[in-house]
Structure 1
């Protein structure tokens, strides 16, 4: 809970080595609070899965190997 408060005031902490592309946008998790983030034109924001989930690929580690 404290981490969410810090992120809401100071911004999320991005680890640029853990960013991945979901076929639409770049995504990652906040290192501090663990929130799912998406890269938008104005910067990183929290990702809402209901937004456009049908068009996006899952994380590379979650994809089934063919």
Structure 2
């Protein structure tokens, strides 16, 4: 099986395509509520996660909302 490498929060991460953004989050057990994701500096709407294919060399940043006051 071919693998691709992405950067996830600055760390290399290998995965086997095809894989969508939502599949990756599920595989990593990431809580999606209050989560935002930027790929190569562009925020991806959560409505597009299931259709967004991950490709070699993408740079993902996962952000979690923090409650404060």
State the TM-score bracket (shorter-chain normalisation): under 0.3
Larger of the two Rg values belongs to structure = 1
Q: What TM-score does the superposition give when structure 1 sets the normalisation length?
A: 0.28
TM-score, with length taken from structure 2: 0.27
Bigger relative contact order, structure 1 or 2, given CA contacts below 8 A and separation 6+?
A: 2
